Structures are given as structure tokens and as C-alpha cells.
Amino acid sequence: MTEAKLTRAAIVDTAIALADESGLDALSMRRIAERMNAGAMSLYRHIPNKDTLLAAMTDEVARRNPYPPAEGENWTWRDRVRIAAEVDWRLYREHPWVLFTFAVPRYNFGEYSLTALSWLVEGFTELGVDTREATRMSLSVWSYIAGVALQQVSTQLLHGRDSNADERSGLTALLEGSPHWPTPSALTALEGTGDTALLEPEQLLDSGLSALCDGFQARTTG
């Protein structure tokens, strides 16, 4: 690749594609350079180090997945939470590695992540809370979405690593009536019910966010 085509944006795009394919563990300047048919040292003229690269990748993914403009819409703050969950759920499934980089202070909250945070904070101010509290609520929502998304994409994140032959979790086995260990007393009513819907990430996302929003509502009206 010629120096004219070897741009910061092209490097970030290539790095995102590699991370999507193989995860962050496989990401290196050497592999990016090989994918771009360039010398590894030439990349450093545009991206000085891997930390800078990961921060740029994270904010680029945020740029590609914005929350929709609120102008002209009659969304409530709960609508914004629902929309944020839909956008972020799709983002995490397409780019599971971002679950890690969004969690690291030196990589998260670039320009576009701050724009997304502002969008959510704006909604929460409808509850009559100040910006500080609205920000706390927004970060709580993001943390919950990320936590549930981690369950959904964990197989992708751990791709290629050794696993046990029986990949069912202890709770799944208990629900199916074949627990791996003696069932704790508080869980005996669940044994053998087959109610594995309890573990469906999308249902957990919906029910958990609903409960979280109910709590926010109660805090501000109680």
C-alpha cells in the first residue's frame, strides 16, 4: 500500500475488521500491516501505539452506531432507554471486543461516546433530576446492557479456547433436572422445571431494564 493510501482511518478500519474476526488477543500492528500490505513501522507514523489504536477503534465503532436524532420525536426517557438497548445490543453482537474497550477508562468516552451519553442524559432529565444524577442513571443503564451482552457474546470472545464436553452451565443443568451438584435449598423449586427462558439474554435485558427504570421512577417520585 502506498503511503498516500495508508491513512489513520484506513488503519483503524482494518484493525476493527481484524478484531471482529479474531478478537483483541490476535490484534497487533504486524497483523494490521500484513492485511494492508504495508510495513509495520509505517503504521506508527499515523498511530503511535496500541493504546491510541484501541481508543480510535472504540470511538469509530461508536461513530458507526449512533443513537437516532431526537428532534421531532415524542420519545419519553423510557423510550430512549429502549432505543439505547437496541442500538447497543446490535453493536456488541457485531463488535464483541468493544465490551472490553468500553470498560477501560483510557479507551472509552471519545467524542462519539460522549455524544451518545449526552443523548441518554437528556432523556433522564425529564425525571427532574440534575445532570449528575441523569449521568449516573445513564451509566447504570449502559452497565446493565453490557453485562447482559457479555453473556450473549461470551462464546465468540472465548472462541478457540478449551472447554468442557458438557458446556451447560450449572444453572441450566439444574433447570433441566440433571444438576451437576446437590441443589442449594433456595433453588430447589427450580430443579427440573425446564424453565431455561430464565437464562435468555434478551429476556434478561428487557426485564432487567424495566426493573431498573421502575427504580429510577420510584426514586424521583417517592
Mean pLDDT of 209-215: 97
Asked whether the predicted pLDDT for residue 4 surpasses 80, the reply is: no
**Burial (CB count within 10 angstroms: exposed 0-12, middle 13-18, buried 19+), residue 211:** exposed
Residue whose C-alpha cell is 417517592? 222
Q: Read off the pLDDT of each residue in 88-111 and give the average, rounded to a whole number.
A: 93
Backbone angles phi, psi at 161, to 5 degrees: -95, 155
- Give the percent of the chain with pLDDT over 70: 92
Burial of 163 (0-12, 13-18, 19+ CB in 10 A): exposed
Residue 165: its pLDDT value, please?
A: 46
Q: What is the rounded CA–CA span in Å between residue 162 and residue 200?
A: 24
Average pLDDT, the chain: 91
Helix (H) or strand (E) holding 60, with range, is: helix 50-64
pLDDT at 71: 93
Residue 156 pLDDT: 67
Summarize the confidence of residues 76-96 as an average pLDDT. Answer: 97
* Residue 105 exposed, middle or buried by CB count within 10 Å (0-12, 13-18, 19+): exposed
pLDDT for residue 47: 95
pTM over 0.75: yes
**Is pLDDT above 90 for 97?**
yes
Fold of the CATH domain 1-48: Arc Repressor Mutant, subunit A (1.10.10)
**Which of 164 and 27 is assigned the larger pLDDT?**
27
Listed by start position, the domains of the chain span 1-48
Instruction: Tell me which residue of 72, 40, 66, 69 sits closest to 53, measured CA to CA.
Output: 40
Each residue's pLDDT tens digit, 113-161:
999 999 999 999 999 999 999 999 999 999 999 999 998 887 666 655 5
pLDDT number for residue 33: 94
- Give residue-wise pLDDT tens across range 38-77: 998 999 999 999 999 999 999 999 999 999 999 999 999 9
- For 45, other C-beta atoms within 10 Å of its C-beta total 11
Mean pLDDT of 101-122: 94
User: How is residue 67 annotated by DSSP?
Assistant: P
d(CA 112, CA 107): 12
Q: Would you state the pLDDT for residue 14?
A: 97
**Residue 94 is placed in which grid cell?**
457485531
In whole angstroms, give the CA distance from residue 28 to residue 191.
46
